[in-house]
Structure 1
Amino acid sequence: MTIQAHIAALQESIPKDVTVVAVSKFHPSAMIREAYDSGQRIFGESRVQELVTKQQELPGDIQWHFIGSLQRNKVKQIAPFISLIHSLDSEKIMQEIDKQGAAHQRVIPCLLQLHIAEEETKSGFSPDECRSFLAKGTWRECSHVQIAGVMGMATFTENKTQLSAEFRL
Structure 2
Amino acid sequence: MTIQENLQAINQRIAAACARAGRNPAEVRLVAVSKTKPAAMIDEAAAAGQQLFGESYAQEFSAKAEEVSSAVEWHFIGGLQTNKVKYLRSKVSLIHSVDRLSLAREIDRQWGKLGRRVDVLLQVNLGGEESKSGTEAAELEELARQVARLPNLRIRGLMTLPPWCDDPEEVRPFFRQLHQLAEGLAKLAIPGVEMRELSMGMSHDFEVAVEEGATLVRVGTAIFGERQRAGG
| TM-score, normalised via structure 2 length | 0.68
Q: Which residues in structure 2 correspond to 1:1-169 (within 5 Å)?
A: 1-15=1-15, 16-17=25-26, 18-59=28-69, 61-134=71-144, 137-160=145-168, 162-167=170-175, 168=177, 169=181
* Match of residue 213 from structure 2: none
Query: Aligned equivalents of 2:148 and 2:38: distance in 1?
Result: 39
Gaps of 5+ in 1: none
Query: Aligned equivalents of 2:110 and 2:165: distance in 1?
Result: 37
* Match of residue 219 from structure 2: none
How far 1:148 sits from its partner (Å)? 0.6
C-alpha spacing 1:3/1:159, structure 2 compared with 1 (3 Å): closer
Query: Bigger CA drift: 90-99 or 2-11?
Result: 2-11
Query: Aligned equivalents of 1:160 and 1:8: distance in 2?
Result: 21
How far 1:119 sits from its partner (Å)? 3.0
How far 1:160 sits from its partner (Å)? 4.5
Please provide the CA RMSD for this pair: 1.6
Gaps of 5+ in 2: 16-24, 182-232
3-state SS of paired residue (1:123): coil
C-alpha spacing 1:23/1:160, structure 2 compared with 1 (3 Å): closer
Query: Aligned equivalents of 2:70 and 2:115: distance in 1?
Result: 18
User: Are the aligned partners of 1:76 and 1:100 in contact in 2 as well (CA < 8 Å)?
Assistant: yes
Q: What is the CA deviation profile of residues 58-102 of structure 1, one whole-angstrom value per residue up to 9, with x for unaligned ones?
A: 136311111111111111111111111010000000111111111
How far 1:120 sits from its partner (Å)? 2.3
